[in-house]
Structure 1
Amino acid sequence: MSTVSKVVLGISVVLTVGTVAGVHLKQQLEKERLREGVFRDLERQERKKENLQNLGEQIILTKKLEADRLQRSTLASGNSQQSAKQ
C-alpha cells in the first residue's frame, strides 16, 4: 500500500469515527431534551391543576363576599328605614 492510500484510509477512518461519535452524542442530547420536555409538561399540568383549583376557590370566595355585601347593604338600608319611621 502506498503512502497516499494509507493517508486517505486514515483520514477516512478518522472522519467516519468522528461522524459516528458525533451522531451518537447528538442522539443522546436529543433524548435528554425529550425527557426533560416530558417532565416540564408534567410540571405545567400540575401547575395548571393548582391554578384551576385556586381559581375555583377564588370564585367561591368572591360569591360569598358579594353575598355578604348584599346582606349588609340590605341590613343597613333596613335599619335606616326603621330609624326614619321612628
Structure 2
Amino acid sequence: MSTRSKVVLGFSVLVSVATVVGVHAKQRLDRERLREGVFRDLERQNRKQENLRLLQEQIHLTKQLEAERDKIEGSQKS
C-alpha cells in the first residue's frame, strides 16, 4: 500500500469518525432541548394557572370593594 493511499484511508477514517461523533453530539443536544421544552411548557402552564387564580381573586376583591362603596354611598344619601 502506498503512502498516498494510507494518507487518504486515514483521512477518510478520521472524517467518518468525526461525522459519527458529531451526529451523536447533535442528537444528544436535540434530546436535551426537547426535554427542556417540556419543563418550560409545564412551568408556563403553572404560571398561567397562577395568573388565572390571581385574576379571579382580583375580580372578587373588586366586587367586594364596589359593594362596600355602594353601601357607604347609599348610607350617606339617606
**Paired position in structure 1 for 2:28:** 28
Q: Return the offset for 1:21.
A: 0.2
Identity of aligned residues (%): 64
Structure 2 residue aligned with 1:43: 43
Residue 63 of structure 1, CA deviation = 0.5
Instruction: Tell me how far 1:5 sits from its aligned partner.
Output: 0.6
Count how many residue pairs are aligned between Structure 1 and Structure 2: 78
Structure 2 gaps, min length 5: none
Q: Which has the larger radius of gyration?
A: 1
Q: Alpha carbon RMSD of aligned pairs, Å?
A: 0.5
Q: TM-score, normalised by structure 2?
A: 0.98
- In 1, the alpha carbon distance for the partners of 2:43 and 2:68 equals 37
- Which of structure 1's runs of 4+ aligned residues deviate more than 4 A? none
CA distance in 1, matches of 2:12, 2:73: 89
Q: Deviations over 1:23-71 (max 9, x none)?
A: 1001101100110010010000001001001100100110010010001
